Chains A and B, each alone.
Chain A
Amino acid sequence: MMKPRIILDSKHFEITVTRLCYQLIEVHNDFSETVIIGLQPRGTFLAYRIQKKLTEILNPSSVRAGKNIINCGSLDITFYRDDFRQKELIPNATEINFIIENKNVILVDDVLFTGRTIRAGLDAMLAFGRPKDVELLVLIDRRLSRHLPIQAKYIGKTIDSIASEKVKVEWKEIDGKDKVTLTNC
């Protein structure tokens, strides 16, 4: 087994997330018509991280008051997967406490690989209404591995990898540090 290759260390991780936030602000201004939805289980960390960062940039006073001015939720896609009978899957919580009808939705996931998760995510999201516009944001885009015609609009880092390699995204919230590594297994 090859030694894991570091794709993003914690410093670059932070820089990348900040850059993604500024890219979002360029398009969505004050986020009054935009909501963020993170895909369970691991896209939600990125979604909430972005929500926090955007609030810090756009309205630092509301951070101090402990309020979030940007709507952010989590979406579980287990019941919409096309492969649930091939492997056992445990559903996670869905929490969307806002209206997505006629809003701009930014779907957020950590890694874009085959595109199947995003396909299921789009289906799952439509159960909550008809958004005006949907965009995809991912931290890592494995661009050579797609099974479906799905592309992200905002990308943290694009990498070329083969199917047998594995991208591991670690989050401070549960893994103790922010890090992205590529391993060959």
Chain B
Amino acid sequence: MTKLSTKHLLGIKDITADDINLILSTAENFKEVINRPIKKVPSLRDITIANLFFENSTRTKLSFELAEKRLSADVVNFASSSSSVKKGETLIDTVNNILAMKVDMVVMRHPNPGAAVFLSKHVKAKIINAGDGAHEHPTQALLDAFSIREKLGSIKGKKIAIVGDILHSRVALSNIFCLQKLGAEVMVCGPTTLMPKYISSLGVKVEHNLQKALEWCDVANMLRIQLERQEIKFFPSLREYTMLFGLNKELLDSLPKKILVMHPGPINRGVEITSDVADCNQSIILEQVENGVAVRMAVLFLLAGRN
């Protein structure tokens, strides 16, 4: 297995377990690279990459940009808030205009599910999905898998609980696909109103009691409550959510074994997890961020190598 089966990274659902393993093993090499005194390699010096962010992002955007720069690619950035999108330009027109400036790869975040798939069918460039609505966020799932593998040795047979707002979360969906392809058992936990109706058809366990979910799992991935997507009330109050589904130190310490705590960021401190949990030694939240750069370098490197 030396190359990916796909020309774009649109979602974890479309790629194979071999693809995921190839990306993760290449990321190990890049993790070593980004810990060198000189963190830059010349692999993509002839490639131009456009980062199109139609939705706000700090971590993913910075992480992609750093990954691109450490591979020596030329980078152009685009944020919809300061662009002609506001004047009514369509997505294809915007992207084709950017491609006319000879761009080889596009990293895109968009509020609409399927935007990346749509783009890949209409423009000639390699597309990397950096999050499309509530659909997928493949690089987040890959870096989560990388972080778990790094800490626990392997993913096969491990039990992972994804806790929180499953309904609005692209991270949850990509994580479920990724972890299942690698042979893990996945449980989702959250209030009934934030649970998609057909979630169990994906082969995941569903639990509504946080204590039980945490007792079962080896790793807890605490998702962010997406306050911006709660157009109707899904739970009575944040306070109630925190009491039922928030992870605090007392609960963490009461568990029979030491579990790993993950969070894709940005953290609502005191809502889904408390500050002392986020900063404790079982939390690998900052390692996830470091691994994010290495994993994104691997994705860019492998896709650029595909003819």
Interface residues in chain A, defined as those with a beta carbon under 8 Å from any beta carbon in chain B? 76, 78-81, 84-85, 88-94, 123-124, 126-129
Contact = CB atoms under 8 A, between A and B. Distances in A.
A123 B42 contact: yes
Contacts of A90: 2, 26
A128 B301 CA distance: 21
B114 to A, nearest CB: 29
Interface of B: 2-3, 26, 28-29, 32-33, 36-43, 71, 301, 304-305, 307
B37 A127 contact: yes
Given A91-B26, A93-B29, A94-B29, A84 B41 contact: no
Given A79-B301, A94-B32, A127-B36, A88 B42 contact: no
24 contacts: A76-B29, A79-B33, A79-B42, A79-B43, A79-B301, A80-B42, A80-B43, A84-B43, A85-B305, A85-B307, A88-B2, A88-B3, A89-B305, A91-B26, A94-B29, A94-B33, A123-B42, A126-B38, A127-B36, A127-B38, A127-B41, A128-B36, A128-B38, A129-B37
Given A80-B43, A93-B29, A129-B37, A85 B2 contact: no
Nearest to B302: A88
Contacts, number: 49
Which of A79, A84, A85, A128 has most B Cβ within 10 Å?
A79
Main secondary structure of the interface of A (DSSP, over half): loop
B182 to A, nearest CB: 19
Nearest to B70: A79
Given A94-B32, A123-B42, A89 B2 contact: yes
A92 B26 CA distance: 9
A132 to B, nearest CB: 16
A84 B38 CA distance: 21
Given A80-B41, A128-B37, 11 more contacts: A79-B42, A85-B305, A89-B2, A89-B305, A94-B32, A94-B33, A126-B38, A127-B36, A127-B38, A127-B40, A128-B38
